[in-house]
Amino acid sequence: MDIGKYKSHDRLLVAVDCIIFGFDGDGLKALLIKRSLQPEKGKWSLMGGFVNQDESTDEAATRVLRQLTGIENIYMEQLYCFSDVNRDTAGRVISIAYFALINIADYNEQLQSEHEARWFPLDKIPTLVFDHKEMVATAKERLQSKVANHPIGFELLPEKFTLPQLQNLYEAIYESKLDKRNFTKKILSLSILNKLEEKEKASSKKGAFYYVFDKSKYRKLHREGVKFV
């Protein structure tokens, strides 16, 4: 390729920004950091960075997520390209946003102090730099639409979980109460959960049985076009 042919065109910076969702058993939260450079230094921000010459945007987002969470193999999905001309006050920067889902219990709290990171409930997100609040809102809409047909919500749960914990998760995602009987009937009718003999007894004396997600059964249902919730 003759790079000289492109010299007459403007050169733009490309960044990635990551919306990281986590679930603590009660509510859905987003992981934010204190911005460490100007402009807007010290203000709340999404975790992000510029794309290096030798990496794709997916690779850049994976690098950023690893630096902040310390976790490998995170569920991550490209969300949207934010390209408003004046979105970054420091210069012309196009940002490719990604959203990721993690189990908060897996999060390395040591990294929290290194990056001044903090989990915020989605209804208490503080003022964010640039267009980051729009990114969070867009990611929440994508999550709400996607969990109906894809089991990505399980990325927010531990490997084994109870039905009440699963219902709490979906109520947090949809921001509305679900009928317990209907939810349980629907979930169990799909046969995508395997029941364990072990019970979780911290929440009640009787205890609730643990379940694990069966990916192979889900893949079969997905091919048949069955709605998940």
Decide if pLDDT at 168 tops 90.
yes
Q: What is the pLDDT of residue 110?
A: 67
In this structure, are 112 and 182 located in the same domain?
A: no
pLDDT tens column, 92-122: 999 999 999 988 888 877 666 777 889 999 9
In this structure, are 204 and 127 located in the same domain?
A: no
Band of residue 215 on the pLDDT scale cut at 50, 70, 90? confident
This prediction's pTM: 0.88
Burial class (CB in 10 A: 0-12, 13-18, 19+), 154: buried
Average pLDDT of the chain is: 88
CATH classification of the domain holding 49: 3.90.79.10
CATH classification of the domain holding 215: 1.10.10.10
In this structure, are 134 and 181 located in the same domain?
A: no
In this structure, are 207 and 136 located in the same domain?
A: no
Q: What is the pLDDT of residue 29?
A: 95
Decide if pLDDT at 2 tops 60.
no
Mean pLDDT computed over 192-210: 86
pLDDT tens column, 43-91: 999 999 999 999 999 999 999 998 888 888 889 999 999 999 999 988 8
Q: Crossing angle of helices 180-189/163-174, nearest 10°?
A: 110
In this structure, are 155 and 130 located in the same domain?
A: no
Decide if pLDDT at 28 tops 90.
yes
Residue 195 sits at φ, ψ, to 5 deg, of -80, 135
Supply the range of the domain harboring residue 64: 3-146
Q: What is the pLDDT of residue 86?
A: 92
Burial class (CB in 10 A: 0-12, 13-18, 19+), 115: middle
Decide if pLDDT at 24 tops 90.
no
